[in-house]
Amino acid sequence: MNEWGHRLLLGLALMLSCAACSVLIEDETCASDSECATDERCADEGFCVVVEQVSCEMLAECGVGEACGADGLCEVLENPGCERLGSDKGDALLLGFIMTFSGPYAESGVDQRKVVKLALGEINDKGGIQGLQGIEGQRELAFMACDDKADQDQTRAAATYLASMRVPAILGPGFSSLLEVAATEVAIPTGTFVVSPSSTAVSIRDLDDDDLIWRISSSDTKQANTLAYFAVWLALEQQSETETVRVVAVHTNDNYGTGFREGFESALDAYQLAYSAQLGEAGIAIDFSAVSHASEADSTPEEWDAEVQDIVTILKDTGPQILLFVGYEDVASVLSEVKKDEALKSVPLLLTDGVASVTLATSYTSESDLPSQVFGVQPGYRTGSAYEHFVQLYQDPVPPTWTEYTYDAVYLLAYAAGSMTPDATTGAGFAEAFKRFDSREGRVVNVGPDHLITACQDMGAGLSLDVRGASGPLDFDTTTGEPESVGILRWTVGFPVAGELGEVVDCGLAMVHEAGANAPTTYWCNAQCMTPPEVNATCADGFCEEPAAICAQGLCTSAGDCKPESAP
């Protein structure tokens, strides 16, 4: 065949393979796109080809790897730094994964990526996903992992790229503000399913999402309620010292921080009303105020330094008796300045899950460096066989915050995929499958490799599951897309190793908000980071025979143990 005939056949092949564009062949040879003109690509055969963009109104009208640009034309998307995790087989089910792997909040995201790799290893070692995905044998699983850099523009780019690659489901993002961007601007319009392990903002509930947006964690409502209850307790603890206890919330001005502050204030008002007689008898009145600020990720270094100084100045002027911090790892910078002030350094601290970090803990060098109370909380149960397996897998007796939630999310996506055939795996299909994970009539499934095959087979058969996750019971409210039962863990900063810097210390399950219960249950030994009474029964394999008891430090404990006289 002559050179002209070769080029003609090449041109015909390229035109037939391009669904969203027409292609013209140029004479130039090439080894990469950089050797071609700006409107050309280097074809695999080594020739520059002109790609004519076609008009579009939505991403679905463009080809794989393309998106609809602002000018109404399909455009090729560059990979925004995403890497493939898990199976490298061409027929593997490819899903998306968006998390923060770089920047000031990278610590947590790197932990989540480790968990995804571990879960993928377990699933693919079992042969992959069965159920309907395995009609011609099992299908392995992979994720395209993208760094959102804690930035909205980067999140938008990552979500758009994943949608253009036609992934039916995305795990993440972790931050609420980034989840809202990915959901409203990309996932919902393209019909892509999203499940976040750690986004907790209440505002996510209000999205018009066609049931596409789910969370393994609950919203901040329960966490805010828990901290409000313990704020009343800390106020009662000060009854001999002051008549007015000033509680000041310092929070980020995003949907996470603002929503948490609103939930805390509402719960604090409710608890003051419920315990008005006890507060009145103690002669205590609670005064609440708040300080909002931009996060470090949304500020230049100079702006962040100024934010920190402004916060400290306001706190000095207010003179709080209790401080609540709602934010991220950058709170450590604020607390480093707070502890320099004589009037502020001993004020009890209430801290949310996002604040817990190595940076925070190591900023304290000794017990005398700590305030009178470091009362941190985070969602979770950290009990049960699924969690015990996860601890062994992660090889850390106290895995980092949110890691067990990510582990559960990977497995739930695998179970859900088992309900669909490979050619009909869609975002809507994932949403329908997730509605079948809270059935009390279904098979009890502990998240992990032991129940993977039977869980996928049951989902493929149209059955429902009763899923017990490493993060706790996954009894989803199908109207909100989040679990109904919520456990709240207590953490603090301590010095378990003499002479070493501070560490984040997990004290155990402090409060449980059980689905259908009139009031939460408080486990006071864990809430105060105390050991249960030695006379209590020991735990057998982490379980207690008494229904209302839980296992803590090898001993069974119930709500009445360790309860202080001042407890509301």
Output the CA torsion 31→35→41→43 (10° steps): -20
Q: How far apart are the first and last CA of the chain?
A: 90
CA distance 294 to 330: 11
Q: Are strands 555-557 and 550-552 parallel, antiparallel or unpaired?
A: antiparallel
**C-beta of residue 133 within 8 angstroms of C-beta of residue 422:** yes
Pair of tokens at residue 24: 């013209």
Q: How many residues does the chain have?
A: 568
Task: Tell me the pTM.
Answer: 0.84
3 state DSSP class of 256: helix
Of 343, 304, 357, 351, the closest CA to residue 326 belongs to 351
Of 327, 325, 358, the closest CA to residue 344 belongs to 325
**C-beta of residue 113 within 8 angstroms of C-beta of residue 145:** yes
Give me the amino acid identity at 129: I
Of 116, 149, 270, 257, the closest CA to residue 200 belongs to 257
DSSP 367: G
Across 434-502, where does the E strand assignment appear? 443-446, 465-469, 472-473, 476-477, 482-483, 486-494
**C-beta of residue 308 within 8 angstroms of C-beta of residue 338:** no
Cα–Cα–Cα angle for 351, 403, 161, rounded to 5 degrees: 105
Neighbour tally for 80: CB within 10 Å: 19
Of 139, 216, 218, 210, the closest CA to residue 427 belongs to 210
Pair of tokens at residue 185: 């601007």
483 preceded by a cis bond (ω within 30 of 0)? no
Cα–Cα–Cα angle for 301, 321, 291, rounded to 5 degrees: 35
Write the CB contacts of 392 (distance below 8 Å, at least 6 apart in sequence).
none
Neighbour tally for 183: CB within 10 Å: 23
CA distance 565 to 568: 8
DSSP 137: B
Place of tokens 């699933």: 123
Write the CB contacts of 451 (distance below 8 Å, at least 6 apart in sequence).
445
Of 229, 238, 292, 236, the closest CA to residue 264 belongs to 229
3 state DSSP class of 123: helix
Of 251, 268, 260, 270, the closest CA to residue 223 belongs to 260
Average pLDDT over the chain, rounded to an integer: 90
Rg (CA), the chain: 26
**C-beta of residue 238 within 8 angstroms of C-beta of residue 277:** no
Alpha-carbon torsion (197, 145, 119, 188), positive or negative: positive
* Angle between helix 427-434 and 403-417 (nearest 10): 110
* Angle between helix 452-460 and 403-417 (nearest 10): 40
Give me the amino acid identity at 537: A
Q: What domains are there in the chain, each with its CATH number?
A: 3-76 (no CATH), 83-217+402-483 (3.40.50.2300), 221-381+486-557 (3.40.50.2300)
Residue 25 pLDDT: 47
Residue 2 pLDDT: 46
Pair of tokens at residue 415: 């179970």
**C-beta of residue 555 within 8 angstroms of C-beta of residue 530:** no
Of 58, 57, 56, 39, the closest CA to residue 48 belongs to 39
CA distance 242 to 283: 9
pLDDT digits over 178-222, tens only? 999 999 999 999 999 999 999 998 899 989 999 999 999 988 999
Residue 27 pLDDT: 55
Residues of the chain with pLDDT under 50: 1-10, 12-26
